[in-house]
């Protein structure tokens, strides 16, 4: 990688193509977290505690096998690069699994348990095979500190569009399917087909637009990776990344905020149907407002991240949203418009997280290269994905247990007071407190723009065999 490449700006085609690839990730991811638990409890007839356990098993499988995909991605030899062949190869089975995931079967609870566990494991296996190389590709497209944030801002626009579709479209699709005679669980077939097509189309656009955009010299990189693989096995590589202080701190904050996100996303449909008795149209409106506000916040987030610092907007954004969310534990949701205000506040912190976190993750690649001589974007992406899934798995499982403890009954037209109270805490106090912890931890994250510039200057000299100093970024080491 040459010094000229360090300052290279990305073309519009590359930015928009990579950003559209975010929809492949976020469409399946969010339709799962918004509706899979709800589908199991209210349409497949599975008790809430068992439904949460299904998600726990599947997501934990995904988390513990993340390093394997990251390692394969880092060491793949292909004329099309290390990342894109895995991405495109995973797309078709990933789309098929999205369709199958929301299909009920007429078996007993035990057989249904096994059926949905297997399907959910297949879904997450295909998902990870796409998404870990996709995230790693973002680090290979540019190593400019601010350009990475801009790239992720573009991706965040399509992330929010995907969230909008994944959250707002299913209630409307179900309503239209019902009018066409596809009642209950059968209406979810139409949901699965719709999102499977979105996954296929967005993935192929990303493949085409990012082709040849990597700045890494592949031959040189492959030699480095083979050498690294000879010295350390998969899990030693994983532990080496964890020993980097910025990686560990970022990973724990990712773990915590994903608990917040899953409680809010999976809990929203229960809050809208149970607490607010919202119609299908109102549910869609609520999800659309949340996603639109996520997009509205993006220019401010990108400006602050580039003018002040990623670290500042990262902890401040999460912290401000979480503190205000905590206040709603006592304010409550007296009307539908108040819920819209609430999700708009959450959207700010969530948009900050999904925009800035990946950009911060990319910056760890240069620190890893400086300390070890190896670039392991795939392992770094897998590490963050592991902690992300760990938080999501724990949140989904605990949420199922909390719903069960509160007496939630998916077949009941009206929930008990204890169930409604539990739903209230699931979307207010619990995610707010965890979000505050994530923000406090992020305060200690050491990579800043000034330190990154000093690191890049030393790394450039080291690559060229020239003398270098660690002055200005000692705290990263």
Q: How far apart are CA 436 and CA 353, in angstroms?
A: 13
> 144 φ, ψ to 5°?
-80, 130
Q: Provide the residue count of the chain.
A: 477
In a domain, 6, yes or no: no
In a domain, 225, yes or no: no
Q: How far apart are CA 477 and CA 463, in angstroms?
A: 18
Q: How far apart are CA 430 and CA 419, in angstroms?
A: 15
Please state the separation of Cα 296 from the chain's center in Å: 19
In a domain, 220, yes or no: no
- pLDDT given at position 176: 83
Q: How far apart are CA 187 and CA 251, in angstroms?
A: 38
Q: How far apart are CA 146 and CA 456, in angstroms?
A: 13
Pair of tokens at residue 134? 């996709």
Q: Is 420 exposed, middle or buried (0-12, 13-18, 19+ CB in 10 A)?
A: middle
- pLDDT given at position 229: 46
* Residue 232 DSSP symbol: S
Please state the separation of Cα 272 from the chain's center in Å: 23
Pair of tokens at residue 360? 């911060």
Q: Are 232 and 224 in contact (CB under 8 A)?
A: no
In a domain, 473, yes or no: no
Q: Are 70 and 381 in contact (CB under 8 A)?
A: yes
* Maximal CA-CA distance, the chain: 73
Instruction: List the CATH number of the domain containing 147.
Output: 1.20.1250.20
- Reported as type and span, the H/E element at residue 451 is helix 449-463
Q: Which of 423, 400, 411 is nearest to 271 (CA)?
A: 423
- pLDDT given at position 4: 40
Pair of tokens at residue 158? 């399509």
In a domain, 435, yes or no: yes
Q: How far apart are CA 283 and CA 330, in angstroms?
A: 23
Q: How far apart are CA 429 and CA 443, in angstroms?
A: 22
- pLDDT given at position 230: 40
Q: Which of 103, 120, 121, 129 is nearest to 203 (CA)?
A: 129
Q: How far apart are CA 138 and CA 148, in angstroms?
A: 8
| Helix, strand, coil distribution of the chain in percent, nearest 5 | 80, 0, 20
- pLDDT given at position 8: 59
In a domain, 429, yes or no: yes
- pLDDT given at position 185: 66
- pLDDT given at position 69: 85
- pLDDT given at position 183: 67
Q: Are 359 and 310 in contact (CB under 8 A)?
A: yes
In a domain, 143, yes or no: yes
In a domain, 7, yes or no: no
The parent domain of residue 159 ranges over 12-215+231-464
- Reported as type and span, the H/E element at residue 317 is helix 310-331
Number of domains in the chain: 1
Start-to-end CA span in the chain (Å):
22
**Going residue by residue through the chain (477 aa), what tens digit of pLDDT does each one get?**
333 444 457 888 989 999 999 999 989 988 888 888 888 888 888 888 898 899 889 888 877 788 888 888 887 777 777 888 889 899 999 999 998 888 877 777 788 899 999 999 999 999 999 999 998 888 888 888 888 888 888 888 898 889 888 888 888 888 887 787 766 667 788 888 889 999 999 999 998 898 877 765 443 444 444 444 444 466 777 788 888 999 999 999 999 999 999 999 889 989 999 899 998 889 889 988 998 998 899 899 988 888 888 999 999 999 999 999 999 999 999 899 999 999 999 999 999 998 899 889 989 999 999 998 887 888 888 889 889 889 988 998 899 899 999 999 877 878 899 999 999 999 999 999 999 999 999 999 999 989 999 999 999 999 889 999 999 999 898
């Amino acid at each position: 990688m040459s010094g000229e490449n360090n300052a290279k700006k990305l073309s519009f085609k590359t930015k928009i193509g990579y950003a559209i690839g975010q929809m492949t990730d976020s469409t399946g991811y969010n339709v799962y977290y918004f509706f899979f638990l709800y589908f199991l409890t209210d349409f497949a007839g599975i008790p809430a505690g068992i439904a949460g356990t299904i998600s726990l098993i599947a997501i934990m499988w995904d988390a513990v096998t993340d390093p394997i995909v990251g390692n394969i991605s880092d060491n793949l030899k292909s004329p099309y690069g290390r990342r894109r062949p895995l991405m495109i190869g995973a797309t078709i089975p990933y789309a098929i699994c999205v369709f199958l995931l929301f299909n009920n079967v007429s078996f007993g609870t035990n057989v249904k348990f096994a059926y949905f566990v297997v399907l959910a494991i297949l879904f997450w296996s295909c998902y990870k095979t796409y998404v870990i190389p996709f995230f790693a590709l973002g680090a290979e497209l540019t190593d400019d500190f601010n350009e990475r944030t801009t790239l992720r801002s573009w991706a965040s626009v399509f992330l929010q569009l995907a969230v909008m579709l994944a959250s707002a479209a299913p209630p409307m699709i179900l309503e239209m399917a019902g009018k066409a005679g596809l009642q209950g669980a059968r209406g979810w077939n139409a949901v699965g087909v719709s999102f499977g097509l979105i996954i296929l189309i967005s993935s192929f656009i990303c493949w085409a637009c990012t082709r040849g955009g990597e700045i890494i010299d592949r031959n040189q990189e492959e030699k480095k990776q083979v050498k690294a693989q000879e010295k350390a096995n998969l899990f030693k590589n994983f532990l080496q990344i964890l020993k980097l202080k910025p990686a560990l701190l970022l990973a724990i904050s990712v773990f915590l905020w994903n608990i917040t996100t899953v409680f809010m996303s999976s809990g929203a449909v229960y809050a809208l149907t149970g607490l607010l008795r919202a119609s299908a149209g109102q549910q869609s409106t609520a999800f659309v407002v949340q996603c639109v506000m996520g997009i509205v916040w993006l220019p401010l987030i990108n400006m602050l991240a580039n003018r002040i610092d990623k670290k500042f907007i990262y902890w401040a954004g999460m912290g401000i949203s979480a503190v205000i969310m905590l206040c709603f534990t006592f304010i409550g949701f007296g009307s539908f418009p108040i819920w819209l205000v609430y999700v708009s506040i959450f959207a700010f912190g969530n948009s900050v997280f999904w925009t800035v976190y990946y950009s911060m993750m990319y910056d760890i690649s240069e620190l890893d290269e400086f300390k070890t001589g190896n670039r392991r974007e795939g392992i770094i992406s897998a590490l963050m994905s592991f902690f992300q899934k760990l938080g999501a798995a724990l949140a989904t499982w605990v949420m199922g247990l909390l719903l069960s403890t509160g007496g939630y009954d998916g077949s009941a037209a009206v929930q008990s007071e204890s169930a409604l109270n539990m739903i209230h805490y699931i979307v207010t106090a619990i995610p707010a407190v965890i979000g505050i912890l994530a923000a406090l931890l992020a305060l200690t994250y050491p990579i800043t723009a000034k330190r990154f510039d000093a690191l890049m200057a030393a790394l450039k000299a080291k690559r060229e065999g020239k003398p270098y100093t660690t002055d200005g970024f000692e705290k990263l080491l």
